[in-house]
Amino acid sequence: MTTSDIDESVRAELNRLRESIDNIDAAVVHMLAERFKCTQQVGHLKANHKLPPADPTRETEQIARLRRLAENAKLDPAFAEKLLNFIIAEVIRHHERIAGDPPTGDAPSEN
């Protein structure tokens, strides 16, 4: 049996749920894009002030906070932690790349 030969009422329910899933996925993408806009600015601030790309103390606090939020929302806290670690690893990669570039707002070097 495939999703193309199911009962009409089941199909309608599946479509309704999938529309909500599509909206939620779009919101997740837009929220992530906004988060990366902020973290890019943090990356430039850190590079301009010679601060390290990663801040393990801040990460520990965020993970503890996100785990608490996940528990309250009935979401698996281990999943929430894995997701945040995945995002943070990408942010740190961006920060390392930014630190290798000339600082923003500075005039290009003469030589």
Q: Is 62 in the site for ligand ISJ (CB under 6 A)?
A: yes
Kindly state the tokens that stand for 4: 């193309």
Judged by CB under 6 A, the chain residues 12 through 31 that form the site for ligand ISJ are: none
- State yes or no: residue 48 binds ligand ISJ (CB under 6 A): no
- Helices 77-100 and 8-48: angle between axes, nearest 10 degrees: 40
Based on the shown chain and the rule CB under 6 A, indicate whether residue 54 belongs to the binding site for ligand ISJ. yes
Residue 92 contacts ligand ISJ per CB under 6 A? yes
CA separation for the pair 59, 53 (Å, rounded): 12
CB of 30 to ligand ISJ, least distance (A): 17
Q: Is 46:53 a contact under the CB 8 Å cutoff?
A: yes
